[in-house]
């Protein structure tokens, strides 16, 4: 078969490991040829691709980012987008696409399915907010990176008797905040799923100080907001204000600085903020993510050869399964609030 592979949306550690797995497993098991489209759906629209083979995949397993490039391109928002996708795939004689992405990129694959585009999805995002799979590859690496950062912030916060607010990624879901907050021993974890009470946050930090714990780490997901509408408006205004992307998502970032200012003003404790930002997306994947990415890539090739188009490979109870793309996209997988219950005895 001739396979096309693309990586779309925000990059994520493990993308190259999936590409390597698709190229190598396809070649070794089935004699497939694979071409890689450049910059996600943009490369398919514009007919830009590169030939891939197992030899060229050497070194990809541990490499961060994506050698194919990525973008947040939405063919449904482009003139003649669907027709251009069809034209490119026909010209390149592609039998099936392996689409590696999150909700937006896989959502495009899902919509293209009934229009004759044969695709299998692979779930990617550091945010871990994709439905249909217990975990996406890249998430574990991001949690590890954030935890190491929190560990470092804790020593300087303790030395200076400060509150340090650590802003992590997580647009709709607080998975990174919750797991890194638990792993890093945070005093407070604030997530988009649970609007927070600023008075309560400040009261808890004050109580900590009164108990003799003179420093605190507050982990806040970029999508978290206060419950109070006036404060929420003020916090939202601290965001970049950049125009939304092709899928309508606002650019977040800014809640950490806003929160540190509020905490300092309300408690009198010196406060600082650190935004981890894209540091969480860069660098080499952990061993767990390398293995998961490889399992997903191999499984995607098998799904293609079984004709299981319109599905996404996924992790379920430790096994790789196939789920309909339709069930995976369109509704983010929000945080399992049990995790916050686990964190609760250690907060405040």
Residues forming contacts to ligand F6P in the complex (CB under 6 A) are 9-10, 125-127, 169-171, 222, 251-252, 281
CA distance 65 to 282: 6
Cβ 231 to ligand F6P, closest distance in Å?
21
267: tokens are 């408690």
* Residue 92 falls in the annotated catalytic set: no
State which residue, 173 or 198, has the beta carbon closest to ligand F6P. 173
CA distance 286 to 6: 22
CA-based end-to-end distance of the chain? 57
Which of these is catalytic: 39, 127, 129, 257? 127
Q: Which residue has the closest beta carbon to ligand F6P?
A: 10
State which residue, 122 or 252, has the beta carbon closest to ligand F6P. 252
Cβ 171 to ligand F6P, closest distance in Å?
4
Output the DSSP codes for 123-175: EB-TT---TTSS--BTHHHHHHHHHHHHHHHHHHHHHHT-EEEEEE--SS--H
Q: Are 163 and 48 in contact (CB under 8 A)?
A: no
Q: Are 182 and 144 in contact (CB under 8 A)?
A: no
Cβ 348 to ligand F6P, closest distance in Å?
26
State which residue, 126 or 205, has the beta carbon closest to ligand F6P. 126
State which residue, 15 or 187, has the beta carbon closest to ligand F6P. 15
Cβ 15 to ligand F6P, closest distance in Å?
11
Q: Three-state SS string across 272-341, please?
A: EEEECHHHHCCCCCCHHHHHHHHHHHHHHHHHHHCCCCCEEEEEECCEEEEEEHHHHCCCCCCCCCHHHH
State which residue, 246 or 320, has the beta carbon closest to ligand F6P. 246
CA distance 149 to 45: 39
CA distance 301 to 137: 17
Cβ 127 to ligand F6P, closest distance in Å?
5
Residues serving a catalytic function are 127
């Amino acid at each position: 078969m001739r396979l096309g592979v693309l990586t779309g949306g925000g990059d994520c550690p493990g993308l190259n490991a999936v590409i390597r797995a698709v190229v190598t497993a396809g070649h070794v098991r089935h004699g497939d040829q694979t071409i890689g489209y450049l910059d996600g759906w943009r490369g398919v629209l514009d007919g830009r691709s590169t030939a891939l083979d197992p030899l060229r995949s050497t070194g990809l397993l541990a490499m961060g980012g994506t050698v194919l490039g990525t973008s947040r391109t939405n063919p449904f928002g482009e003139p003649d987008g669907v027709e251009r996708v069809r034209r490119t795939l026909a010209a390149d004689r592609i039998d099936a696409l392996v689409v590696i992405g999150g909700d937006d990129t896989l959502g495009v694959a899902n919509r293209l399915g009934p229009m004759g585009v044969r695709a299998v999805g692979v779930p990617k995002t550091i945010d871990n907010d994709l439905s249909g799979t217990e975990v996406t590859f890249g998430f574990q690496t991001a949690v590890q990176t954030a935890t190491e950062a929190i560990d470092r912030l804790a020593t300087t916060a303790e030395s200076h008797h400060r509150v340090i607010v650590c802003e992590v990624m997580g647009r709709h879901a607080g998975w990174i905040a919750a797991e890194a907050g638990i792993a890093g021993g945070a005093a407070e974890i604030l997530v988009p799923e649970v609007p927070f009470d600023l008075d309560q946050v400040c009261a808890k930090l004050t109580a900590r100080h009164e108990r003799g714990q003179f420093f605190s780490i507050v982990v806040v997901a970029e999508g978290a907001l206060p419950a109070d509408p006036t404060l929420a408006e003020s916090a939202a205004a601290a965001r970049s204000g950049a125009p939304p992307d092709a899928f309508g998502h606002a650019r977040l970032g800014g809640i950490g600085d806003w929160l540190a200012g509020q905490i300092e003003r309300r408690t009198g404790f010196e406060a600082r903020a650190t935004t981890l930002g894209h540091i969480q997306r860069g660098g080499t994947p952990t061993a767990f993510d390398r293995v998961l990415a490889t399992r997903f890539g191999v499984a995607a090739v098998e799904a293609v050869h079984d004709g299981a188009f319109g599905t996404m490979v996924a992790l379920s109870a430790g096994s790789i399964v196939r789920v309909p793309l339709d069930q995976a996209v369109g509704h983010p997988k929000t945080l399992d609030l049990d995790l916050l219950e686990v964190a609760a005895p250690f907060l405040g």
